[in-house]
Structure 1
Amino acid sequence: MSALRSAGVPVHPVEAVPCPAAGTDLAILQRFLSDGHRECLRGDGTVVEIEAGTALLAAECVAEWVASDPDAGRGTVVVSDGDTALLDQALARRGLPVLGLSAPSPLRSGFQVIALCFAVVWKPLDPEKLLEFLTLPLSPIAPWAAGHLAAALREEPGTGGAAWPRAWALIEAGLRERMEADEGRELLEEWQSWVQVGRFERVSGVPTDIALAICRRLAGWAAAASEVEHGPLRRSLVEVTRSLEAALAMLGQATVAGRQMDQMLFQAIEDLSDSARCAEVGGIRAVADPGALWRPASRVVWWRFARGGSRPAPCHWDEAELAALAASGCRPESPVEAARRDEMHWRSVALHARQALLFVRPETECGDETARHPFAHQLAPLLTTQVGQQAIRVPAERLLARRHVRIAGRMITRAAADVVALPKAQAVWELPRALVARTRGRCESATSLEDMIGCQFRWLLRHVVGLRGSRAGLPDGERLLGNLAHELARAVLDPGTIPDPDSVRARARAEFDGLVERTAAPLLLPGRAAELAHARQRMPEALAALAAHLQSRGMAIEGTEVDCAGDAGGFRLVGRVDVVVRDPAGGRAAVDLKWSRSAARRRIELAEGRAIQLATYGRLLGSAGRGAPSAYFLLRQRIALSTSGSPLATEEVAALRDLDGTWEAVAADWRALIGLARHGIGLASGLGGGADLALDRVLAGDRDACVSCDLSRLCRIPSKRTAA
């Protein structure tokens, strides 16, 4: 203290705060911690443990308790063992100042931009990271342009296929409509610079000058728009990028390895909290760690009393660096020392309370069960006493059931809320006139017809309105492999005579790796090696089997991914057929390629006369009112499925109706359902309603339509019906 005074630092004595009154529960607890003397708590409200089923309910309970304080929280300190975002929201709803202790995170708001800008430069490219960058709410690329790129990425998860340059062509056309040519060209080049992806190996690293260029680009973008939108956040971004730029310049290295870049990003971002969550001036105070409470307080609320000890900090040093630190006398804290420090901090919280001590424990958080705090086990001999249990352990759920609830010496009065009925599932919807008008003059495809037959309401939302559900991510699993198989077939099956199966196999093997990198980049990520090896082996064999099958039937290839269109009697029909072949007599036929684990679904479709896709392709390629032959070729199983008598089938399925009959059923149902829509009625088939509409339908709605539907929240079908 003398040294501080001699240096000119004002030193004032701390105002003395009276100790808890003798005989109170708080005094008994503090004596127990000091000398181990055990005495039963009486339940006088000075020591309370609030238990809540969820963190949200715990926040509501604490906010109600603070709001009932006539002194507006003066003298109350909240010790936060974690994020206070939920508690801040509950306090704000009651007009109280927020605490502002939301956990710093590199995933908050615009700070994602920094991490993702560097995440997309590494090889192999992670398309998920690129999709996250394109769909950020705060993005350097305009939302309409980023939407085109995101759609291309969902179609082909990579940047080397046909979809990616096609998206840039759409963006260029959009810029020509929006601005002058020179200005649009400059903006296009700027946007393209943000997505120069997958260029550097993580081990060898990114050139320092490239990393510096990314930092300068980020800082320039954030600074240019900081006063227009999200000002404080963008200014924080400028601060981070400039500090990162300075650190890179000080390294003096030609390249920065991926691990080192991650360390620098983490250290640049971790100490910056979300600028949208700042503490507000008020009577209640808050500290971010139990060890930060260093003086007595009238009332102490230990928020989220369910986690024990300091989390092990992520280690960003390798063994050589740790050895160098130790040699320099910089010894990291041992686990034993950390545990002792934690215990000292916990005891300090309890010993600094003077009038009341509240422990607030949510039993679940984000759906996961929380564990009891280690300090709770030390206090168990007192908190588990049978005397005054109702006053010591208070379930937060009492606030939902009682009008008056006493918590820690305060009477909280609650008013009954009006019960509002939630929207119910609705099978029949009245359509607005503008939507009805959009049902006229439409082109239908095999996909839109399947959606209409399965659920007319889904067809309206998806194909007429253009809505997409929240599940629209990158293709994965069987869908990703199926897309890759289609691209591989297009690369190796040239128009003309069917090539020899051995040459198809060899060419498929030669094309495979390049196609994966361009259109199925997720398969190159760590953890996907087995899946990639399986596909590398199976796909060339499957295409060789397809070539051998078509050769044996005397077929020739007219084209792959062939766009077709025609009149379907009342509406225009369009589609893209995977493989169009011609028989020896010149007749056309369609082969629809499928990559799936089982053939059961396709067999059932054919048997029940519901193979809408094959019927549609047959109609597009047929003539004189009859459909052309069509079949599924299941690549994994290497079989061709169709109805009896098909010249393409290796396995004929006895069907309720042939493909021509299926098309007639589709056309009849289209007339019934389009008539319903044009009379202003939408029908959600999965809910089983609409029986009074007296629809004359041939094909029943798809039993599984609701399971895979991403729009079920709109018709509000019960979740148990949509569980996969």
Structure 2
Amino acid sequence: MKIIFGLHADGMNPHKKENRLGIKTVGPDGFLQLLETQLGIPVRDSSYTSRVVSYLKRMESAGIEGSFFEKSCLVDKFNVAAELLNWRDQWYSGGWNGQIRNDNLTSGNEKKLLDVADIEKQSQIPLAPGEGERLQAVLTALQHQKTQINELQLIDPIANFPKKWRLVIRSFDGRKVDVLSPKAEAGTDLRRLQQTLIALQTGEPELNEKGEIVKTILKDDGSVQVVKSGSKSVSALAVASFLKSSSENTALLSGSDGVELDEAFERFNLPRSGFKRYSSARPLLQLLPLAIDLLWEPLDPETLLEFLLLPYAPMPKGLRSTLASVVADSPGMNGTSWNSTLEKLLKKDDEASQKKTKQVIDLWLNPQRYQVSEGIPLAVLHDRTLQVVDWIARRLALDNDEAQIALFRAANNQVNELAVVLGHFEDQKMVLSSEQIHYLIEQVTGSGTDLIDRYAECSPDKPINLVATTTQSTFISHFDTAIWWDIQGQSKPANPFSKSEVECLESNGVDLIMPEALYKMDAINSMKPILSATKKLMLIMHDDCENQHPLMDQMISCMDGWEAINLDDELLAGKPLSEEGGNMQESKFISLPAFRRWWEIKPDKNLGKRERESFSSLDTLFKSPYQWILNYKARLRSGALSEIADGNLLKGTLVHHLYESFFQQCAHVLTETKLDNVIVNDWFDEAINPLLHQEGLVLLQPGRAIEKARLEETARRSLFELIEQLRAANVVEVEMEGYNEGIFFGGILSGSIDVRVVNKAGVEAIVDIKWGGKRYKENDLRDNQHLQLVIYSYLRDLKLKSQGWPSVAYFIIDDSVMLSHNNEFFPKAWVVNKESDENTKQVWQRIKNTWQWRQEQIKQGIIEVTIKNSEPDENSQPGEDGLPIPDSNDFYSDYGALTGWRKSS
């Protein structure tokens, strides 16, 4: 067996495809596993997170107090353990035997080395071996055993490998592959570039009389192209276009994960190369962190909503989606809306199913919760993890789709790993902080998973002429064309050890690879893809590149006669990426319809009046008929993406429900001789927190304490004012959210009235509650534009008949004020005088006239588009007998994008 071994060869490798048997290309992970298998060395399967927890136990056993990392542990002991474990593993790979001899201390400042050595003495606590220890086991076995490997070829120089690897390599007499030499045709820009970079690397550049580097002049012959693009997707499409028409052997190096390239290949019907983008944000991988976050108090409504909206979750999908809508409107649980919705859902099932559904809801949504400041007991966390393990295992057993099975297996492995890690803690009564829990979850989730159906492909009708990689060091062959896509510099890790500490480690047999050596390796490796090209080299950069690659710095400082191509401009101008390459297909530009104030459509019976209307639909018909058509006739709806209610709308709803609960329970205070403030305050204090938990969890989140306090103060103050207004009016009956409907000139009219009150004389009045907007409501009353109140008054008049139209008023929560036209019903109301003598019935007649005017326009197929920055005309007003119509009404429109293209856009 022949092994080709490189430091970065565990991933994609740019090796020419060929038929071969007994040849394998591997990196450190693959080679170590192969050796252990052939030598029969048992390896304990242990995750990185489990090793961190085990090492933390060793740290605690050795004693954290007095150590150099003591203060860091007070902040995050898990990350401290992870960092120290990484040091330990590097030392073992570098030849450490687990001890620091005192006679090798050179300066007396090596406390961190001694502290790590003290931790290593706690060998009674099991710790799965790291790479260095596993390599030592391989070296021991190789002394008396043989493998099937008869040839070992190195991609990287042996000096680049850690010490233990060098010993293994020498036991196989490993040899370095030949260094790539420039094979581009003499006289081409590519050959000049290669020779110049080699001269710079070897320290032998051509100098002028002043000792300055003589710049290499490129001839712009097309063999070297430097391309800039503002978009990775655009440049990836250009690469795919080039490859589609090219028959040259090509190597493609991606400086990032390269997923955009595979997406572009699909669009050009090219086989995917197998680039991967790992993400811990895959929906199924979010189940575990969300299930654990549901244990915190106060419950975060965003967490609850995300859990309910997961594509995969341990609750019936229909139940989750319905409850998600409730949570979006009323951020909380177990409130009036939640309970009524759940009751309707349960009625559809038999008794056994109802019981099971309640148990599922209680298990996942109503667990015991814990304050973030106190943490969660480890035993509770362990049980929660096992609940997720159990559900995934049962769900996995039911699936037959291979892609889904792969996804569930990945999630199952990660959740099981956390369960194992938590089981390693001996003290199950210990409490883990929020930071510690999130650290453990992040560790077991790692980089996440790739998309489950994005594999590398081959094409049966096209020769295999493209190889791809994300690692520059693995180039060992020549290609006609090399494309370095998304070329950018990479940051290197800093050295955590001082010079004296490094010397001490060396005296203890530890040979570390220092950052300076890593920089040198990177410089050598960056030459490999350049030297692999024999005919053409493309370097593609993007505007979002944070660190420019040193190669580009060298080209700028040492070469003239080249200029980066702006790919976006070139493609828009219809130019190809190269003379040989294909061009993007030209798209025909189609002008978008221009904006018009009036739409003219063919009259149709379907545009006629609706069977049922409400205030909101009539208001839309009058002020924005295009929205009325698109909403109620075309039935166009905005996306179903749920968003948590917040702001003044939520606050108004909360206070409204608070009032409703108060008058259901304490209406007697309206008729008592003297108002007992203690009763109201005590009731408020008991009611406000449950209400916020049930419908306003957003206000209980960190950072919103002041906003919550202001809401409570406003709600309390306004409740007292509302009570005072009703007591002054001798109100004896209060109904909130009462549904009313009746016949009107357009069909059936319906609506829910915020507050309907009746005084001692049996006279009714209607109050509409608003959170704010006192000035706007004053204007509505002054101009007789209080259409909602007029409509509700009409509906009540249909019921009352003999009494006449009820009085109307607005109650503004934020200002704690009642607004009305007079003091006839509410003697303490703030009076807003009308500018005309019209009564409510006369305003209703204007509503009727306006309705007939709009319906006639729609009947003729004429629809007004009332958006701002557009000019109304003589047809935009119904005349003196109708309601005044504002010039525009699109502030809350969902249909602005459908109204036509404007030059200002």
Shorter-normalised TM range:
0.7 to 0.9
1:127 aligns with 2:301: yes
Counterparts of residues 380-529 of structure 1 (less than 5 Å): 381-382=556-557, 387-389=561-563, 392-402=564-574, 404-407=575-578, 410-422=580-592, 428=599, 440-442=610-612, 444-463=613-632, 468-470=637-639, 473-493=643-663, 494-498=666-670, 500=675, 502-503=677-678, 504-529=680-705
Match of 1:32 in 2: 200
- Corresponding residue number in structure 2 for 1:707: 891
Looking at structure 2, the residues matched to 412 and 476 of structure 1 have their Cα atoms a distance apart, in angstroms, of 52
1: CA distance, partners of 2:860 / 2:817:
44
Instruction: Tell me what 1:601 maps to.
Output: 776
**Is residue 481 of structure 2 the alignment partner of residue 303 of structure 1?**
no
2:517 & 2:846 partners in 1: Cα distance? 76
- Check 1:293–1:229 CA distance in 2 against 1; reply closer, same or farther (3 A cut): closer
Report the CA distance shift for 1:308/1:537 in structure 2 as closer, same or farther (over 3 A).
farther
Q: Aligned pair in 2 of structure 1 residues 599, 249: CA closer, same or farther (>3 Å)?
A: same
Aligned runs of 1:168-207 on 2, under 5 Å?
168-174=342-348, 176=349, 182=352, 186=356, 189-190=359-360, 193-196=363-366, 199-202=369-372, 203-205=374-376, 207=380
The 1:53/1:7 distance shift into structure 2, 3 A limit, reads same
8 Å CA contact retained: 2:738, 2:754: yes
In the alignment, which residue of structure 2 is the partner of 1:86? 260
Higher mean alpha-carbon deviation, 561-570 vs 520-529, is at 561-570
CA contact (8 A) 1:706 1:712 kept: yes
Once the two structures are overlaid, the 10-residue window that deviates more, 692-701 or 10-19, is 692-701
| Alignment pair present for 1:287 and 2:469 | yes
Contact 1:216 1:245 (C-alpha < 8 Å) held by counterparts: no
User: Deviations 1:368-390 (Å, cap 9, x if unpaired)?
Assistant: xx54526377336348x55232x
Q: How does 1:631-650 map to 2 (within 5 A)?
A: 631-643=809-821, 647-648=825-826, 649-650=829-830
Question: Offset at 1:6?
Answer: 5.7
Gaps of 5+ in 2: 6-137, 154-175, 206-212, 459-463, 495-511
Q: What is the Cα-based RMSD across aligned positions, in Å?
A: 4.0
**1:128 offset after TM fit, Å?**
1.7
Give the Cα–Cα distance (whole angstroms) in 2 for the partners of residues 516 and 27 of structure 1.
72
Residue 650 of structure 1: CA displacement?
Answer: 0.9
* Structure 1 residues 124-273: aligned runs within 5 Å: 124-174=298-348, 176=349, 182=352, 186=356, 189-190=359-360, 193-196=363-366, 199-202=369-372, 203-205=374-376, 207=380, 208-227=382-401, 230-252=404-426, 253-254=428-429, 257-269=433-445, 270-273=447-450
Q: Report the CA distance shift for 1:64/1:124 in structure 2 as closer, same or farther (over 3 A).
A: same
The equivalent residue for 1:620 is 795
Alignment coverage as a number of residue pairs: 679
Q: For 1:418-460, what per-residue CA distance to the aligned partner results, in whole angstroms no more than 9, with x for missing partners? A: 33344555753759989658x6432x33333333333234335
Secondary structure of 2:540 counterpart: strand
Between the aligned partners of 2:489 and 2:766, the Cα distance in structure 1 is: 62
Aligned partner of 1:130: which letter? L
Structure 1 residues 370-422: Cα deviation after superposition (integer angstroms, max 9, x where no partner): 54526377336348x55232xx44433202213x4354x74444553333344
Cα deviation code 1:634-656 (max 9, x no counterpart):
11122223346674431415456
Task: Answer yes or no: is the 8 Å Cα contact 1:51–1:362 preserved in 2.
Answer: yes
Deviates more, 1:712-721 or 1:663-672: 712-721
Take 1:431 and 1:243, find their aligned partners in 2: how far apart are those partners? 65
Structure 1 14/380 Cα, relative in aligned 2: closer, same or farther at 3 Å?
closer
1:311 is displaced (CA, Å) by 10
Measured after TM superposition, the shift of residue 124 of structure 1 is 1.4
- Out of 644-653 and 213-222, give the one that drifted further: 644-653
What is the DSSP-based 3-state SS (H/G/I as helix, E as strand, rest coil) of the residue aligned with 2:247? coil
**Is 1:428–1:682's contact at 8 Å kept on the other side of the alignment?**
yes
Q: 2:786 aligns with which of 604, 611, 626?
A: 611
Residues of 2 paired with 1:160 and 1:187: CA distance?
15
Gap runs ≥5 in structure 1: 313-333, 365-369
Return the TM-score normalized by structure 2: 0.66
Q: Is the 8 A contact 2:279 2:449 kept in 1?
A: yes
Q: C-alpha deviations, 1:59-82, integer Å up to 9, x for none?
A: 2222223333213xx44132232x
1:668 aligns with 2:840: no
Query: What is the identity, as a one-letter code, of the residue corresponding to 1:706?
Result: D
Counterpart code for 2:693: E
Q: Deviations over 1:231-290 (max 9, x none)?
A: 433343333333333333334534654333322332233242221333334543333455
Distance 1:627 1:563 in 2: 17
Give the AA of the match of 1:243: E
2:115 is matched with: none
Is the Cα–Cα contact under 8 Å of residues 226 and 234 in structure 1 kept in the other structure?
no
Distance in 1 (alpha carbons) for counterparts of 2:686 and 2:182: 81
| Distance in 1 of aligned mates of 2:617 and 2:551 | 59
Q: Residue 527 of structure 1: CA displacement? A: 2.0
Aligned to 1:362: 542
Normalising by structure 1, report the TM-score.
0.81
Q: Residues 496 and 557 of structure 1 are in contact (CA less than 8 Å); yes or no, is this contact kept in structure 2?
A: no
Q: Which residue of 1 aligns with 2:451?
A: 274
Q: Distance in 2 between matches of 1:434 and 1:233?
A: 52
Residues 157 and 521, structure 1, Cα contact 8 Å, conserved in 2:
yes
Question: Structure 1 pair 204/233, CA: closer, same or farther in 2 (3 Å)?
Answer: same
Cα deviations across residues 279-309 of structure 1 (Å, max 9, x unaligned)? 334543333455x646466344333335753
Structure 2 distance, partners of 1:264, 1:124, is 22
1:578 aligns with 2:754: yes
Query: What one-letter code is carried by the residue in structure 2 that aligns with 1:606?
Result: L
- Residues 196 and 411 of structure 1: CA distance in aligned 2, closer, same or farther (over 3 Å): same
Equivalent position SS for 1:561 = strand
CA distance in 1, matches of 2:834, 2:603: 44
Cα distance, 1:157 vs. partner? 0.7
Does the 8 Å contact 2:252/2:482 carry over to 1?
Answer: yes
SS of the counterpart of 1:97?
A: coil
The residue number in structure 2 matching 1:323 is: none
C-alpha deviation, 1:569, in angstroms: 3.9
For the pair shown, the structure with the greater C-alpha radius of gyration is 2
Deviations 1:687-715 (A, max 9, x none): 86997989847345555632212243445
Alpha carbons of structure 1 residues 432 and 570: separation in structure 2 relative to 1, 3 Å: closer
Q: Using a 3 Å threshold, how does the CA distance of structure 1 residues 546 and 295 change in structure 2: closer, same or farther?
A: farther
Residue in 2 that maps onto 1:48 = 225
**Other structure's SS at 2:889 match:** coil
Per-residue Cα deviation, 1:524-568 (whole angstroms, up to 9, x for no partner): 112212211221222211222222233334444422333333333
Q: In the alignment, is the contact (CA less than 8 A) between 1:216 and 1:241 conserved in 2?
A: no
Q: Helix, strand or coil for the counterpart of 1:469?
A: coil
Q: What are the superposed Cα offsets for residues 104-137 of structure 1, whole Å, 9 maximum, x if unpaired?
A: 1121243333333333332211112222232334
2:238–2:584: 8 Å Cα contact kept in structure 1?
Answer: no
CA distance in 2, matches of 1:235, 1:62: 35
